[in-house]
Chain A
């Protein structure tokens, strides 16, 4: 195995001249111009008829002058975006150990079902009598989520996890205000994802950070000291961002409740416990799920996601609109604050939520079933621990002992080498892998958070571990140039982010000198 991994790590030395070919292409390393640089008036990628003569009714507000869009034919468009796609790393091309993001396989059945005309080609404001099946689907999804979490209600409209956090903290604030007890602080562990403090602050709360203890869990005594009559909520991630189960969570929940506060849980890591632990049994009042993580709806290069929020009975009355309720004529959509929904916090998004994601997540759940989902958690945790054990002598494990579905290392093993976490991550790119999450969580130095997910085989983990070990060996052997020059085998070498931020070029302009230079390439 060692020989083989050595062979794998052969690479182009940094200083090697890059061969320039006549076409500008090196095998599949394609230089692809922007669509704006491929424009030729007279072409079009669609054939549309000219409308019959009619009298416009635009109140004299006709657009004057061209929009400035480029004209391409369909084959050019297909080739352009195919070439762009080939510059991307993806789950489909290899292990994607991006901690906290749950980059698991995306089943293609789910894509097919989300495109059924009966689900994709229906309008959110069609008469409810014509979308009975859609409501049934949403209701079925709700029932699965409620059973898996043990929580009695779910708000489905949030667009992603961060939007779910906003929804959760708003419902908590509404509940507190309803009992005449507005509070001003939200406790957020220092290890939390950036969306947690950003959310609490957006909802008008002072963010009070809670330190971690030496075991990578929230420091319970520090937390309890901070609890008081002005604390609205604790936002805790469990399993936490160090990949560890908060083993005092039940005591923490009790303390939070004793202080009259609510317990918000960031459920981004539900994948580790689905089918094995119900969040309700931990004392959680409110928790968002990321359907694009645990329930495998595709990440799509950055979205769309879906962030349902599970609510305890004490918070359910404040759930945002719309509500789906069982009425006299079956399932009904409640779209306005009236009757029982008078207490709702209002609307958080247009229409009814991310239906396309609901279909995919439900297909995922039906496929796995109660048994398969439990197996998902077990295999995700098994895979992460397997990597932990394979790598703990080569990298520096931040917290000893078993982890949940992701494993956290830091940069102590790189100490005095002049190689940073960033360099190490970039060297992984040259070995054909997407790097792990870097520099998050913030509570360890130079964090490397590795989440393999359950959809990796043992062989895939063995290969990855061998590569990481060989890189760690190279780092110990002070093969510094290799790290500092990495990546050298990707479509691009390191990009100058400082220059990008100093003088932002955020769109193509016909006369932009930078664009001109490349067009000539």
Chain B
């Protein structure tokens, strides 16, 4: 077996040194009834060629986003990732190290995480950011639980414009962790008046921007209403690139930002691994979940970085920890950091503009189709349209024509017939004019 360096001679010599006659002696503590003598009913070892063939066969049965006109978003976005990113994150020193528990020999990881925290704070216009969580949805649930701790209250108000997976994750945590969530109905294009739902038992209001439907809104007034009642405002961002074009949550009064960072540096990967971003205000830092990297000096006075404020965490605080998270999304955070370092100020802003421009062009085309209506008043790179018929079969028919043309809202809200005709469409810098032509053409053929 190519990954196992011990030879039979090594094994024999080592057993001798240990002073046992066979490997079985080392498993003597296993109750006899639970010892497996033979092999399990699974295939035997295979070489690279066979394994590559088997997995490639599975890969070939999927339609690759990059091989067709592709317009799907909904919390996971297809962007071009510069070649340098994937090259760098595969350096063994990054790929095959672990959580930087020994800072003297982990300065590489610690320094990029410090850069990552700084980048996230800058994008969101918040004061502090942590070193990542699993994904945007879990970051959102952690944000609510942090707001509960900060306010000493247990009732969160969720906007109907929150990504349904995020809402569902919050609901699961609420049920088992023990807090209440009140969610408004999903009503694209409508005003929500979330302010009316805030009272002095509310720990936070959670809103998404751009929201699940792609709509932008100013949260400043909502922030004021939250703060008036002693509640926090949690802003969720599922498309972090939007912050290259739109006003950041920190400038609208957000207390916590929970976001998905997949758009930068990370492939679609059928949904994971992704990158939970989490930012907040300095004054709440001791209630934050997850790892934090801080600057310090070494014994010679040289600048260096360490994991810090660990007394919040499970390995020190155990049952009183702010979160149980241990392993996070380190390498995804590195990919994000490198991609954003390559983009820099001008590249990030331009990439955002390119996305917005692509979506504006696509919206103009789709709106021209008979009986199709744009639901949004505003958007960044994603918007919702109302079709003259249920969207799910349309998407299926488009897929038959090898066009991946958006998400039928019914896939996420199957129990809401009033949303069945809605289609969520995204366009990024990767969409060409030709892709849009083919999408438009296919839609013309498929729509009644």
Contacts and interface: CB of A to CB of B under 8 A. Distances in A.
A88 B404 contact: no
Interface in B280-297: 285, 291-297
27 contacts: A44-B344, A45-B84, A52-B357, A71-B345, A77-B341, A86-B93, A90-B94, A96-B96, A111-B95, A122-B65, A132-B61, A161-B327, A199-B324, A276-B30, A278-B34, A301-B106, A302-B329, A303-B331, A336-B414, A351-B272, A354-B272, A356-B269, A369-B44, A372-B3, A374-B40, A389-B18, A425-B102
A56 to B, nearest CB: 6
Contacts of B326: 160-162, 193-195
Interface string B266-310: 011111111000000000010000011111111110111110111
B29 interface: yes
A404 B326 CA distance: 24
B315 A440 contact: yes
B48 interface: yes
**Leading 3 A-B pairs by shortest Cβ distance:** A118-B59, A351-B271, A133-B61
A316 B304 CA distance: 47
Interface in A487-513: 487, 490-497, 499-501, 504-508
A32 B111 contact: yes
A379 B135 CA distance: 35
Interface stretch (B188-196, B225-233, B373-381, B439-447): B373-381
Contacts of B345: 41, 66-71
Contacts of A349: 134-135, 137-138, 165, 169, 272
Contacts of B25: 402
Interface in A113-137: 113, 115-127, 129-134, 136-137
Contacts of A87: 105-108, 111
B92 interface: yes
B86 to A, nearest CB: 7
B109 A301 contact: yes
Contact of A402 (B28, B35, B119): B28
Given A92-B96, A349-B272, A134 B88 contact: no
Given A207-B319, A304-B134, A80 B395 contact: no
Given A134-B58, A497-B308, A90 B93 contact: yes
Contacts of A18: 300
A445 interface: no
A122 B44 contact: no
Contacts, number: 732
B243 A499 contact: no
B108 to A, nearest CB: 4
Interface string A29-67: 001101110010101111011111011111111111011
A80 B324 contact: no
Contact of B380 (A32, A46, A58, A429): A58
A166 interface: yes
Interface residues of B, number: 213
B42 A195 contact: no
B240 to A, nearest CB: 12
Contacts of B72: 123, 125-126
A189 interface: no
A303 B117 contact: no
A275 B269 CA distance: 29
B324 A88 contact: no
A194 B316 contact: yes
B417 interface: no
A298 B97 CA distance: 8
A490 B350 CA distance: 41
Nearest to B303: A518
Contacts of B349: 63, 67
A482 interface: no
Contact of B59 (A41, A54, A133, A495): A133
Interface residues on A, range: 35 or more
B327 A84 contact: no
A105 B3 contact: yes
Given A39-B344, A49-B354, A336-B414, 10 more contacts: A36-B118, A51-B356, A162-B326, A170-B172, A277-B35, A301-B95, A350-B163, A500-B294, A501-B308, A504-B292
Most-contacted residue by chain A among B3, B135, B274 (CB, 10 A): B3
A308 interface: no
Interface string B344-366: 11111111011011111101000
A250 B310 CA distance: 37
A282 to B, nearest CB: 5
Contact of A195 (B304, B324, B353): B324
Nearest to A246: B29
A517 B30 CA distance: 58
Given A90-B96, A492-B304, A374 B86 contact: no
A447 B134 CA distance: 30
A78 B88 contact: yes
A203 B126 CA distance: 30
A222 interface: no
Nearest to B359: A57
Contacts of A194: 313-318, 321, 326
A256 B175 CA distance: 25
B351 A48 contact: yes
A249 interface: yes
B183 interface: no
Interface stretch (A257-265, A360-368, A473-481): A360-368
Most-contacted residue by chain B among A130, A300, A373 (CB, 10 A): A300
A300 B334 CA distance: 9
A120 B268 contact: yes
Contacts of A93: 92-93
Contact of A129 (B119, B293, B396): B396
B129 interface: yes
Contact of B411 (A105, A125, A495): A125
A386 B111 contact: no
Contacts of B109: 84, 88, 301-302
B6 A118 contact: no
Given A36-B115, A61-B218, A367 B46 contact: yes
Contacts of A62: 245-247
Contacts of A136: 58, 61
Nearest to A136: B58
A91 interface: yes
Interface in A413-435: 425-426, 429, 434-435
Nearest to A337: B168
B270 A203 contact: no
A371 B99 contact: no
B169 A347 contact: yes
A78 B123 CA distance: 22
B92 A304 contact: no
B69 interface: no
A390 B18 CA distance: 8
B45 A355 contact: no
Given A117-B64, A301-B331, A458-B10, A378 B29 contact: no
A402 B20 CA distance: 10
B200 to A, nearest CB: 24
B178 A204 contact: yes
B201 interface: no
A127 B341 contact: no
Given A125-B72, A506-B292, A63 B102 contact: no
A104 to B, nearest CB: 8
A214 to B, nearest CB: 15
